[in-house]
Amino acid sequence: MGKWQNDTMLDQALNWIKTNADALYVCSSQPTTYAQASTSYKLAAKTSYSITGSPANGDSSGRKIATNAASSVSVASAGSAQHVAITGSISSTQTLLYVTTCSTKALGTSDKVNIPAFDIEIADAA
């Protein structure tokens, strides 16, 4: 017997990220906590960040939501960009919501970085 889940369940997960997102960080390593994303591994930050897309069918299965791009984000610390993290405030607690990889790029403190829009996609049960 195959596995199945309702699209509404996946949409709720994606909308949870959308509703709670408030900052986007470029990180030098993969963060697993809010503190790592916002401090330890932070190279650049876009505060006052939001996601305005709506859940839609995924590219291969499941559901996805498109994030918003961030342009000309000032680099605060020099390093090699490897991950992008979305954080948010949940019940007044800062929380790491989502992390993805990015193209590795060396960044200097006088640089500005453009973070393109990307999809957060949750696949159907297999």
**Within a domain: residue 48?**
yes
What are the residues facing 112 on neighbouring strands?
A: 74
pLDDT tens digits, the chain, 126 residues: what are they?
689 999 999 999 999 999 999 999 999 999 999 999 999 999 999 999 999 999 999 999 999 999 999 999 999 999 999 999 999 988 889 999 999 999 999 999 999 999 999 999 999 998
Q: Give the pLDDT score at 87.
A: 98
Closest CA to 8 of 63, 66, 65, 59: 63
Tally of structural domains, the chain = 1
Q: Give the pLDDT score at 91.
A: 86
The Cα–Cα gap between 26 and 2 comes to 39
pTM metric for this prediction: 0.94
Q: Give the pLDDT score at 1.
A: 67
**Within a domain: residue 51?**
yes
**Within a domain: residue 119?**
no
Q: Give the pLDDT score at 106.
A: 98
Q: Give the pLDDT score at 92.
A: 87
**Residue 23: which domain range?**
7-111
User: Residue 9 gets which letter from DSSP?
Assistant: H
**Within a domain: residue 75?**
yes
